[in-house]
Each structure stands twice: as C-alpha cells, then as structure tokens.
Structure 1
Amino acid sequence: MTKTAWVFPGQGSQKIGMGVDLAARPEATAKLDQAQEILGWSVLDICQSEDDKVSNTFYTQPCLYVIESILADLLMAQGQQPDLVAGHSLGEYAALYAAGVFDFTAGVHLVKRRGELMSQASEGAMAALMGFDRSELDDQIAATAGVVLANDNNPGQVVISGTTVAVETIMQTVKTKRAVKLNVSGAFHSPLMAPAAREFQEVLAAVEFKDARMPVLSNVEPTPSTDAATLKQRLSQQMTGSVRWREISLYLPEAGVEQVVEVGPGNVLTGLIKRTCKGLQLENISSAAQIL
C-alpha cells in the first residue's frame, strides 16, 4: 500500500465560498451545527459573505478548522486513512483532530480562542521573503534584535516576524527577489505573541489530549510523535515558535511517504512540498465534491 501523509493548510489559504458544498452532506451538517453553537455564528454564512469576512483572523481560524476537520471525516468515512499527519500553523489543529488527539468540539473551542487572541494582537509586523541567500538571511536575523524566522516554508520562501523596525531592517538589508509585508494584525509566531500565548494556555490546559492514532509532525518540532503529552507541549509553544515546514517536507520522503494529500482549500502546501521534495504524488481535497 502507498504510504500517505495528510497535510492541513493554515491562515492564508481561506477563500470566499470555501466549504459551501458541505451543506449538502448530512454527515457534515451535524458538525456545522455543533460549531455554530460554540461560535455563535455560522461558518458557511461567513465563508459566503461577499465582504470577505472569512479573511478576518477572528473568523478565519475557526472556519478553516471546521471545514478541514469535516473533509478529513468524509475521507475517513470512505475508508481512507493517513499514515502520518501535519498542519501548517492553524492547520496543526485539524491534523491533531484527524489523528484523534482531541474531539471536534474541543478543537472548535481552541481555535475560537486562538482566533480571538491573535485578531487582537496589534504589535509588530510580518513579511514574506522569496529568492534569497539563506546564510545571508540567517546571519542578518541573528544580528538584528527583535526579529525571528516565523515560517520556514521552503528553501526559497520564508516569513519573518517581529517589531516593525526589525522586520523593515531585514527587508532593506537582505537581497531578495521579492519581499512583501503581510497584511496581518500582529507579529505571529514570534516572542511578541507571548502575552496572547499565556492567555491561550488557560484554554489549552483544560482540553484532554489522547495519544494520536498515527504520528503527528508538529510545527515547532518536526519529528513524529503519537504521545499526548508531547503533542500538547509542542502545541503550547506554537503561537510564539517558528513553523518549520521545510523540515516537515524533507522528513516525508525519509519516512517512506509516497503520496501527500492536502486537505483544505487551495494548494499552498502541496506547492511548497513540490518545490522542496521531488517525486512525491500530490493531491488536493478542497471540497466535498472531490470525495465520492
């Protein structure tokens, strides 16, 4: 049998209209109703709002988690099962749900609070850098106070995060093909998120984690684990820690993975993996219509 990894995208992959065909699947509507009861608003209504409410962090994170988790449920109902799972930033919550680490409603409570806290963050900035000399970038980050590597996505694409001055310094001093400041409310995946992370710990501590059904590669430590305590500890570090996606991608062929299925809207992760690892079979499941 083909060894398969499921990967779940995070914030930035959302789009207006995502998940709308879930309304036609009775097995999905129960979960959508559960989510609405916790959130106080309808995921599908937000996703269909023409004013792009779904791109507001407050809404984005619960919407992505709910849709990705339901798509995973539909795949498993067809008898499909991953050998390994991983998620990019917010996507790690859907990965943990798919691995049976916590139940659906616990995940909704977690991402609801995470989205609230991160939408309230107002300090710092983030920027995406493409086409650079890695050693020059690493040296400059090490020499610049107040900035960190937030997302190490692939050898030619990263996101930096930190104080506005420090982020702009890196953009001005490191030679890149392209550098784009991101439209975000704060410096996600950096030490500036520490106050929000401390508040989030109260919610996280109350959620029971179970051992995973299959290995999970965490953002802050991209080595496989099924241990509940380990996975919870890694998740607790995620809001201030780096997303080490390049290392996750490189691990997949080492683990014997032959096929990668991106479960969720868009194809950001399979695109990153394609540029990092050659020869893997890549598939995208972004809607219920793709699941027979």
Structure 2
Amino acid sequence: MTKTAWVFPGQGSQALGMGIDLQDISLAKSKFEIAEKVLGWSILDICQGDDETLARTLYTQPCLYVVESILVDLLTERIGLPQLVAGHSLGEYVALYAAKVFDFESGLKLVKKRAELMDSAAGGKMAALMKFDRSQLMTALTETSDVVLANDNSAGQVVISGTPEAVAEILGKVKAKRVMTLNVSGAFHSPLMQEASEQFLDVLNSVNFNDAQVPVLSNVEPTPATSQEELKRRLVQQMTGSVRWREIMLQFSQSEITNIIEVGPGKALCGLIKRTCREIKLETVGTVVQLNAKTLVMSS
C-alpha cells in the first residue's frame, strides 16, 4: 500500500526565479495578490530581483511560504492530500497550512512577523558541521554555555547556534570534515531567540488553529499530531527549539511511508532523506513542469 508524505524546505532553499512560472495560474494570482496586501511588497518582484535581497530573512521566509503554499493548493487540487506532512524550520508553517490547520492569510501573517523578528535579531552566530564525531560534539555542547544544537539535519550534518564566542569555542574543540558559517544575523533555534519568541506569541495567539486533517511531524517533537492545541504548543517552542529533522526522517520509516514529495524549490530535503531512508521513493515538485509531470503520472 502506498503511503505518501509531503515535506517542505525552509530558509536556504530559496532560488531566484522560484514561483515565476506560477504567475499565470488563476489560483496562484489570487494568492500573490493576497500576499502583496499582507506584506506591502510583491513576492514576484523579490523572486525575480537579486540574490542578496531574496536571501534576506525578511523576504526569504514569506517568499518560500507563499510559493510553497501555492504548490500545495495545486497539488491538493490534482491528487488530494498525503498521509503525513513535515516541514524544515520555516517549512513547518507550510506543513500546517497543507494540513488545513490555518488558512493561507493567517499563516502568512505568522510568517511575516516571524521573518521580521528573526531578521532584526543580532549578536548570534550559526555554523554548519559536516562529517563530524557526534559524541565529541555532544560532549562539547554539554560543557559549553550559550551554544546549542540548532538543526540536527542528519547523522552527518548539523548546525550549531549561539553567541559568536561560544560557537567559535565549539569549532575549536570538534573536528569536522567541513565547517560553514551561515549568513544569518541571529542565533536561530536557540534560547537566545527567547525575546523574539515572546513577541511572536502575540501574533500566534491571535490566529485560529484547527485540528489537522493530516498528521504533522513538528520540528521540536517529531511524532505525528493532529490536535490544534498540541500543534500550536509545538509551534510556540519552534523559534527557540532545535529542528530535529534526523528524527523526523526516522519517523517516516516508522510510519511506513513509501513515497515522499518535496514541495518547494530545490531538493535539499530529498538529499537528506535519500541517505537516511533508502527504501522510500523521492520526488520533487517545485515548478509547473514538475507539477504537471506528477499529475500526468497519477492520471495515467
């Protein structure tokens, strides 16, 4: 029996030109117009502007949310809902939208506020480590204050987040084949985002949540949930909590998922899943061409 999950990438997966091929589809036009009213700027203008502007958190997160949500609508219209959804960091908001937890505009208002708060965060640093000694890293994190494991992406790839001094201390202690400092202003997914998280609560509490029509795997607790109270509680913790993507991938196998579609630009999540869940069939839907190809296969 086929069991499908949809996954949604977050910040870092954006690409210049994303969403442009959607602009002539009436459903997409409507969403782009709503987005411009909520944001005060055009998603399409930013997506066909320059890399530096698109890469700024203030613009990246709403652009990804809008483009991925439109793809969700088109995919749902053509093949129906999947059996499970999950999103990486910002992608979790699209997962909740796909599961009908909140409407498009409410989700965008949340993402807008989140992007503003994260864009204005300062004084933090994040670094990615590839091919490292996990026990050595975990020991170092335990012994060092003001730095945490922010993204546990896979067995061989993580991101640490904290003060610049603490991050440098970890990098001096842990051997890794490759280290990459991330181009972000703050220490995302760490306790240093507590103040931003508290400010975000005002907007979050104003949004009406529904029970999910499809189970959602949350970043901070990678077990299937549909309860609106539970999903909101998990989202409250997301800005300061770790993205436990490695555990989410293991949950796909435990939930007997056979097919996964990465909905959005690129194939970063498929790359991680491929190395962890070799038995699962992977596809990407980030363009109209890919969407039409997927629909054609389903109807044949």
Coarse TM-score class (shorter-chain normalised): over 0.9
SS at match of 1:237: helix
Q: What corresponds to 2:96 in structure 1?
A: 96
Unaligned runs of 5+ in 2: 293-300
Q: Distance in 1 between matches of 2:219 and 2:237?
A: 9
Superposition map of 1:183-202 within 5 A: 183-202=183-202
Q: TM-score, normalised by structure 1?
A: 0.99
Q: Does structure 2 conserve the Cα–Cα contact (< 8 Å) formed by 1:20 and 1:44? A: yes
Q: Does structure 2 conserve the Cα–Cα contact (< 8 Å) formed by 1:88 and 1:219? A: yes
Unaligned runs of 5+ in 1: none
* Shift in Å, 1:164: 0.6
Superposition map of 1:175-214 within 5 A: 175-214=175-214
* Alignment-mate amino acid for residue 25 of structure 1: I
Q: What corresponds to 1:276 in structure 2?
A: 276
Q: Does structure 2 conserve the Cα–Cα contact (< 8 Å) formed by 1:121 and 1:185? A: yes
SS at match of 2:279: coil
* Shift in Å, 1:289: 2.4
Range with bigger deviation, 258-267 or 45-54: 45-54
Q: Distance in 1 between matches of 2:5 and 2:153?
A: 17
SS at match of 1:256: coil
Q: What corresponds to 2:256 in structure 1?
A: 256
Q: Distance in 1 between matches of 2:106 and 2:188?
A: 23
Q: What corresponds to 2:40 in structure 1?
A: 40
Q: What corresponds to 1:133 in structure 2?
A: 133
**Identical positions, percent:** 60
Q: Distance in 2 between matches of 1:286 and 1:212?
A: 24
Q: What corresponds to 2:120 in structure 1?
A: 120
SS at match of 1:112: helix
Q: What corresponds to 1:145 in structure 2?
A: 145
* Alignment-mate amino acid for residue 204 of structure 1: L
Give the number of aligned pairs. Answer: 292
* Shift in Å, 1:27: 1.3
SS at match of 1:131: strand
Q: What corresponds to 1:16 in structure 2?
A: 16
* Shift in Å, 1:51: 4.8
* Shift in Å, 1:264: 0.3
Structure 1 residues 159-191: Cα deviation after superposition (integer angstroms, max 9, x where no partner) = 000011110111111011011111101100000
Moved over 3 A (4+): none
SS at match of 2:23: helix
Q: What corresponds to 2:229 in structure 1?
A: 229
Q: What corresponds to 2:288 in structure 1?
A: 288
* Alignment-mate amino acid for residue 260 of structure 2: V
Q: TM-score, normalised by structure 2?
A: 0.96
Q: Does structure 2 conserve the Cα–Cα contact (< 8 Å) formed by 1:16 and 1:52? A: no
* Alignment-mate amino acid for residue 13 of structure 2: S
* Alignment-mate amino acid for residue 234 of structure 1: R
Q: What corresponds to 1:71 in structure 2?
A: 71
Structure 1 residues 132-151: Cα deviation after superposition (integer angstroms, max 9, x where no partner) = 11111101100011110000
* Alignment-mate amino acid for residue 28 of structure 1: A
Q: Distance in 2 between matches of 1:51 and 1:250?
A: 34
Q: What corresponds to 1:154 in structure 2?
A: 154
Q: Distance in 1 between matches of 2:32 and 2:183?
A: 29
SS at match of 1:24: coil
SS at match of 2:59: helix
